[in-house]
Amino acid sequence: MIEEHDELLNEDEGSQETITKVTGMYKEWFLDYASYVILERAVPAIEDGFKPVQRRIMHSMKDLDDGRYNKVANIVGHTMQYHPHGDASIADAMVQIGQKDLLIDTQGNWGNILTGDRAAASRYIEARLSKFALDVVYNPKITEWQASYDGRRKEPINLPVMFPLLLAQGGEGIAVGLSTKILPHNFIELIDASVKHLKGKRFTLLPDFPTAGIADFTNYNDGLRGGKVRVRAQISQRDKNTLVITEIPYGTTTSSLIDSILKANDKGKIKIKKIEDNTAANVEILIHLPSGLSPDKTIDALYAFTSCETSISPLGCVIEDNKPYFVGVTEMLRRSTDNTVQLLKSELEIKLGEFEEQWHFASLERIFIENRIYRDIEEEETWDGVINAIDKGLQPHIKHLKRKITVEDITRLTEIRIKRISKFDIDKAQQKIDALEDQIAEVKHHLANLIDYAIAYFERLKKEYGEGKERKTEIRIFDDVDATKVVIRNTKLYVNREEGFIGTSLRRDEYVCDCSDIDDIIVFTKEGKMMVTKVDSKTFIGKNIIHVAVFKKKDKRTIYNMIYRDGKSGPSYVKRFAVTSMTRDREYDLTNGSKGSVLWYFSANPNGEAEVVTIMLRQVGSIKKLKWDLDFADILIKGRASKGNQVTKYAIKRVELKEKGVSTLKPRKIWFDDTVQRLNVDGRGELIGEFRGEDRLLVINQSGVVKTIIPELTTHFDSDMIVLEKWIPKKPISAIYYDGEKERYYVKRFIIEQEGREESFISDHSDSQLEIVSTDWRPMVEVEFTKERGKDRKPNMEVNLEEFISIKGITALGNQLTKDKINQINLLEALPYEAPEEVHADELEVVDEETVSENLQAEGSKTDTKQKSNSASQEDDDDIDVDDTGQAKLF
């Protein structure tokens, strides 16, 4: 720490010295340093989108440009005349510009943004300006210049860039106390947005990354501070045990991505067998999975626990008038487009001035030669006499000129050679003047219609340079991945029922299930107590544990059935309830709260099953009925704190399970949300149908692949999916496809016989393609034929596919549709058909989980079944959701 001193005056031999406080010096120095880094190194200018080093590189490349490639080392050396820093920083900046494939035409190994491999040394690689850069970046006539750092050369203050270059390339920099992160945007979309702005229309800009991938721009916030972009890798399933990553998130490389996957595997978050990196020109990372592992859950786990999903926080900061300026991408594009219009105006004005000067001198030259004014100077002996003689000779002929004649004009006339005068052609001279007048008129028209001229300029850029620059990043809204649903079970849970302990370290005790270290565990004891607690090595719950499972958050389908005695000698009650949420580590009493209460019977039912149990009473007094059956299907599902229905006021000897039950819950409604491409039970999107345990989804892809799957909410769907509906096993599928080998259209109808298997129903020739597919009972199609030369077009043909071909096997070739050439096939409205009603084996009286019947059948007993229950409020917490299967417990 530097101590502050007061000013000290020392008198020595008549001199006086002043010691200044160091604090003030450091404040000024730091501010100077911070300002220098912000303005001269890290943050791009809004005028041309370049940082100083980038601008100097581009200026140097223009200096050296002769159409041929230059060694990068040579360009770096030349740039050092303008940039007062080391060659390494210049070379790195140049490689970054080159990798964006817009301004620099590269040759050699310039590195790989996909793998993260560095470029070769600057002495081995070459570069030259691209045609696009030469077109939009340079124009010395409208460039403002300043002296270089050593005063020996001139460098541009800003390059006259006539394109939103900063948004196309993106920009990132960290200064002192300030940073910027402008994400790259699509070339074509930027031009379209500029045109819309010039037409006074609204526009929206979203980033487009060179590494492609999938991105959710919901919270992009126009690229301002506080926004966020979520980017995901493109992951697909190659087969049941292999996943393939073909696109990676922006800001990652294949190496960093693989490292994050291996790290998640080591921590037990995901489970993989091995991983292969086959990346070359395109990304290909193969992830091999162990047998029996769900590919869909693994994809979600990759998004949840690895760099397959990343979050990017944009920050739009640029330099304007030598000050940092925070601005959104919409305003950046407006500023850039308006700046382009002004540059085009300046360019046109300069061009107009040049044309008018050419017209002025061409007119003077014609007057000078045509009227033989050059003869007037033959007798003049002085230079002033020559000038005056020519001026006097011109005066009668210059009324149509647009400006006065100057001494410089006359001097130029004296420089015309005799040879040119002798070969002067009046007609050609007039043609030249006429052509100049046309050019002047054209430029004036452009200046009068400047916006239309600018729009045409942008459209020309799009036409000439837009090919191959289509959007790479897919825009999609993401469904959040619940980590607890996709985490791999990486540890084992044990229980000591008598002593009341659960945990992962009790290896000598009873094994319960596999779990993850982020799961919550729900525990029930014989005294009717319940608790949810975090997985730990050893946790005390309470003695006489009867049920342990992984807790499932907001689970309305897992129903707990229970019979308990109230107090030491009170009546017994029956209740059914779900546990959707609660406070962690809090003990809940599921009985009426009386001391000495105990459970007679308990079961956990993952799909709301309602079993039948036998109640047996103790022989006390004159009880006539000592045994009867109780069906849990007759009990209303209430809150966990409800008292329940009275079973009997007499002492129960025991309760036995008589018959396992079926689900008392309604079939589950499932929707498909096309926005996020996921199934859900929350009512978002299109209703697919109501599903019971055995029901499946029918999925058909454009590639001619059909499969039936269990409707799990974690399922991922291919981008070429064209049919998604509830599968009816006896309902035929009709298809028309083009066979690439036979070059004919074929019709087939088939029924899926092997559920759960992925099968192709078109031929495997590379040119084969699916034309029409229908899941209607009686589909109709219209065939439009190709017109043959010299003949009338055949009338369209309507085909009833049910009558055209009978149902065959899925591998059958089918029947040829027609021998004539087909132009188009259209699917018409299907014929009416009354589909048979679905009959399920478990089609019993299905009881709604919200309104279960309260009837209690206690045959012949004198039990009081008067209902006395209250639904208790349930307290929410950040609970965990994992599947579980319950088993009945008898006491």
pLDDT digits (tens, 9 = 90+) for 293-308: 888 889 999 999 999 9
How many CB atoms neighbour CB 347 within 10 A?
Answer: 18
Q: Is 124 designated active site?
A: yes
Q: At what angle do helices 87-99 and 52-64 cross, to 10 degrees?
A: 80
Residue 36: which region, alpha, beta or left (left: phi > 0; alpha: psi -120 to 50)? alpha
For residue 20, what pLDDT is reported? 66
pLDDT for residue 73 is more than 90:
yes
Burial (0-12, 13-18, 19+ Cβ within 10 Å), 543: middle
List strand residue ranges (DSSP E) for 313-428, in order: 317-320, 323-326
What are the structure tokens assigned to 151, written together?
């005063």
| Closest among 166, 45, 135, 46 to 458, alpha carbons compared | 135
Per the prediction, the chain carries an average pLDDT of 86
Angstrom distance (rounded) from CA 238 to CA 122: 40
Highest mean pLDDT among 374-388, 454-468, 546-560, 682-696: 454-468
The secondary structure of residue 763, as a DSSP letter, is -
Q: Which residues, at least 6 apart from 502, have a Cβ–Cβ distance to it below 8 Å?
A: 493, 494, 495, 496, 512, 521, 523, 533, 538, 539, 541, 545, 548
pLDDT for residue 732 is more than 50:
yes
pLDDT for residue 7 is more than 70:
no
What are the structure tokens assigned to 158, written together?
């800003």
Would you say 502 and 494 are in contact if contact means Cβ atoms under 8 Å apart?
yes
Angstrom distance (rounded) from CA 720 to CA 471: 18
Q: Which residues pair with 769 in a beta bridge?
A: 738
- Please identify which of the residues 36, 124, 511, 833 carries the catalytic annotation: 124
pLDDT for residue 121 is more than 90:
yes
For residue 229, what pLDDT is reported? 95
Q: Which residues, at least 6 apart from 178, have a Cβ–Cβ distance to it below 8 Å?
A: 34, 38, 42, 43, 317, 324
- Per-residue pLDDT, averaged over 476-481, amounts to 84
What are the structure tokens assigned to 720, written together?
């070429």
Angstrom distance (rounded) from CA 745 to CA 738: 4
| Closest among 616, 625, 530, 634 to 574, alpha carbons compared | 634
What are the structure tokens assigned to 769, written together?
């393609």
For residue 807, what pLDDT is reported? 92
What are the structure tokens assigned to 530, written together?
């319940």
For residue 844, what pLDDT is reported? 35
For residue 836, what pLDDT is reported? 66
| Closest among 163, 169, 203 to 460, alpha carbons compared | 163
Would you say 719 and 705 are in contact if contact means Cβ atoms under 8 Å apart?
no
Q: Which residue has the higher pLDDT, 392 or 158?
A: 158
Q: Which residues of 356-378 are buried (b: 16+ CB within 10 A; e: fewer)?
A: bebbbebbbbbbbbeeebbebbe
Contacts of 846-851 with CB under 8 Å at 24 or more apart are: 846/663, 846/664, 846/665, 846/666, 846/667, 847/610, 847/633, 847/664, 847/665, 848/665, 848/666, 849/556, 849/557, 849/559, 849/578, 849/608, 849/637, 849/664, 849/665, 849/666, 850/637, 851/636
pLDDT for residue 621 is more than 80:
no
Q: Sort strands 242-247 and 285-288 into parallel, antiparallel or unpaired.
A: antiparallel
Q: Which residues of 109-138 are buried (b: 16+ CB within 10 A; e: fewer)?
A: ebbbbbbeeebeebeebbbbbbebbeebbb
Q: Which residues pair with 576 in a beta bridge?
A: 561, 637
Contacts of 169-174 with CB under 8 Å at 24 or more apart are: 169/49, 169/97, 169/100, 169/102, 169/103, 170/100, 170/207, 171/44, 171/49, 171/51, 173/41, 173/42, 173/43, 173/44, 173/51, 174/42
How many CB atoms neighbour CB 292 within 10 A?
Answer: 7
CA distances from 10 to 16, 23, 24 (A): 6, 21, 21
Residue 797: which region, alpha, beta or left (left: phi > 0; alpha: psi -120 to 50)? beta
Q: Which residues, at least 6 apart from 194, have a Cβ–Cβ distance to it below 8 Å?
A: 164, 333, 336, 337, 340, 458
Would you say 852 and 664 are in contact if contact means Cβ atoms under 8 Å apart?
yes
For residue 837, what pLDDT is reported? 63
pLDDT for residue 596 is more than 50:
yes
Angstrom distance (rounded) from CA 11 to CA 726: 100
Amino acid letter for position 759: E
**For residue 133, which phi and psi values (nearest 5 degrees)?**
-60, -45
Least confident residue range of 118-132, 198-212, 746-760, 834-848: 834-848
How many CB atoms neighbour CB 101 within 10 A?
Answer: 16
For residue 422, what pLDDT is reported? 79
pLDDT digits (tens, 9 = 90+) for 336-361: 999 999 999 999 999 999 998 889 88
For residue 16, what pLDDT is reported? 61
Q: Which residues pair with 214 in a beta bridge?
A: 232, 474
Q: Which residues, at least 6 apart from 781, have a Cβ–Cβ distance to it below 8 Å?
A: 736, 772, 798, 799, 801, 825, 826, 827, 828
Angstrom distance (rounded) from CA 108 to CA 95: 11
Q: At what angle do helices 383-394 and 329-370 cross, to 10 degrees?
A: 100
Q: At what angle do helices 295-305 and 254-266 cross, to 10 degrees?
A: 110
CA distances from 622 to 650, 728, 861, 864 (A): 11, 57, 12, 17
**How sure is the predictor about 391, in pLDDT bands with cuts at 50, 70 and 90?**
confident
**For residue 800, which phi and psi values (nearest 5 degrees)?**
-90, 105
pLDDT digits (tens, 9 = 90+) for 683-709: 888 999 988 777 899 999 999 999 999
pLDDT for residue 876 is more than 70:
no
**How sure is the predictor about 597, in pLDDT bands with cuts at 50, 70 and 90?**
very high
Least confident residue range of 37-41, 462-466, 547-551: 37-41
- Per-residue pLDDT, averaged over 750-759, amounts to 88
How many CB atoms neighbour CB 299 within 10 A?
Answer: 24
Q: Which residue has the higher pLDDT, 174 or 693?
A: 174
For residue 870, what pLDDT is reported? 35
pLDDT for residue 514 is more than 80:
yes
What are the structure tokens assigned to 778, written together?
């009686």
pLDDT for residue 8 is more than 80:
no
What are the structure tokens assigned to 280, written together?
């070359």
